[in-house]
Amino acid sequence: MRLVTVMLLGLTISMGSARAQDQGPNILFILVDNLGYGELGVYGGGELRGAPTPRIDQLASEGLRLTNFNVEPQCTPSRSALMTGRHAIRSGTTRVVWGMLYGMTQWEITLPELLSEQGYATGMFGKRHLGDTNGRFPTDQGFDEWYGIANTTDEAQYSSQFQFDAEVGLQSFIQESRRGEEPTTVKPYDLTGRREIDSELTQQTIDFMRRQNSTDTPFFAFVPLTQVHLPTIPHPDFAGISGNGDFADSVMEMDHHVGEMLDTLDELGISDNTVVIFASDNGPEEVAAYHGTSGYWRGHYFTALEGSLRAPFLIRWPGEIPAGQVSNEIVHVTDLLPTFAAITGYEVPDDRIIDGVDQTDLLLGNTEQSGREGFPVYNGDDLFAYKWRNWKVHFIELNSMFGSPMRLNVPHIYNLLKDPKEDFNIAPDSTWILPVVMSRVIDFQRTLVAEPPIELGTPDPYSPPR
């Protein structure tokens, strides 16, 4: 009898080991809001901005830091590109118009849906900004649970603004939901809620990771924090901590919350089996009192300047990604969906155009070369620029989100090595770039003919024209 028991125990251990080998790593993806390239210590900010970021800087030293990670120029397009692996121009998610249906159609296949099919528990804790109607909430499109806000943090200040009329004015709420259920209202998202929400999101994330770890279920914890989006005001516990004002206090608060989540991984003993990503969805704010910095680059979000497109990106996966690495190779936010496919084993959809490329070899240190050379930059539905290697060609130039776009008769060419702030049009000695870039622009635009973009406001159900 004892021999049988030992044999059964051995079989159980063997099966458990097989499951552990087949099971993909946990994923903790922290996406902060409008954090400029120049804010973190490891990107040249930190103490220079009056806000040290020791926990995030430490995370950078434990994995790979990208210095050429690129996003879309606005919040909704960037989040759509992350979720689908497709440029927002394809998905009808290039912008938000108040009073109009927006967000991803049910036809889109999302990152959490793909991970769910691989057995992952999927939780989202934070800002959505990809739809605020039934069918387009996070738990309608792949997440098992969600706690956060459907739209943008701007809305937290509405009820405190001059002559606000609650009868007609938009009122924002913090909501929560489970897969298959309609969201319920937790409390108003006002200035008090705005100060408290990132602490709540952190605790919700920690609870989610603990619960999944207790059931030995791999998890995807997506944490789109609300800092440092305007109004950039800290939790009361962090007010005055920097001595340098609300913005610096908020950056330090953000760093603290990242540290809390990382500490939880250590406490649970799962740091080595968890991919941690820290990234920003956009360049910095430009609004007075809440403005951030793009550091070495120029520009804020809503433009096609490097300060809008280049965002912080850190990734740690102990034993897989060598520590202390830095790469200036071009990576785009659309690349994350096919890259996670290689890491977790799901199949990338082949019934639609996917713009992302698998960057696993670059991230793991197997190659020093990116899988892409460039990408188009759409701002709204217009092609503003094309970035290729160390060059940027602008077709529509916009230097401020408050400015007027200038459609150029002759495109402006900038070399980002010689002219990182895109101040000097160097076309006279670089016209060879134009036919190279234009051929890539035409190739991309042909794909928009082959697969016509979904229009903003398209309702569900949606099926692509054949």
Q: Indicate which residues carry an active-site annotation.
A: 75, 129
Q: Look-up: residue for tokens 């927006």?
A: 102
Tell me 216's DSSP state: T
In terms of DSSP bridges, do strands 406-415 and 391-397 run parallel, antiparallel, or are they unpaired? antiparallel
Cα–Cα distance for residue pair 308/157, rounded to 1 Å: 24
Cα–Cα distance for residue pair 230/406, rounded to 1 Å: 27
What b/e sequence results for 301-322 when a residue is b if at least 16 CB atoms lie within 10 Å of its CB, and e otherwise? Answer: bbbbbbbbbbbbbbbbbbebbe
Contact 303, 73 (CB under 8 A): yes
Backbone angles phi, psi at 196, to 5 degrees: -95, -20
Residue 144 has a CB neighbour count (10 Å cut-off) of 21
Closest CA to 290 of 31, 33, 30: 33
Distances (CA, A) of 249 to 54, 223, 293: 14, 20, 15
In terms of DSSP bridges, do strands 382-388 and 374-379 run parallel, antiparallel, or are they unpaired? antiparallel
Cα–Cα distance for residue pair 86/359, rounded to 1 Å: 15
- Give the CA angle between residues 362, 368, 369 to the nearest 5°: 80
Sign of the alpha-carbon torsion through 372, 374, 379, 383? negative
Q: Look-up: residue for tokens 């082959």?
A: 450
- Give the CA angle between residues 183, 24, 314 to the nearest 5°: 80
Closest CA to 403 of 311, 300, 310, 307: 300
Structure tokens at 202: 């952190």
Contact 228, 250 (CB under 8 A): yes
Cα–Cα distance for residue pair 288/290, rounded to 1 Å: 5
Three-class secondary structure of residue 80 per DSSP: helix
Structure tokens at 437: 């870039």
Backbone angles phi, psi at 105, to 5 degrees: -70, 160
Cα–Cα distance for residue pair 131/84, rounded to 1 Å: 14
Contact 112, 141 (CB under 8 A): yes
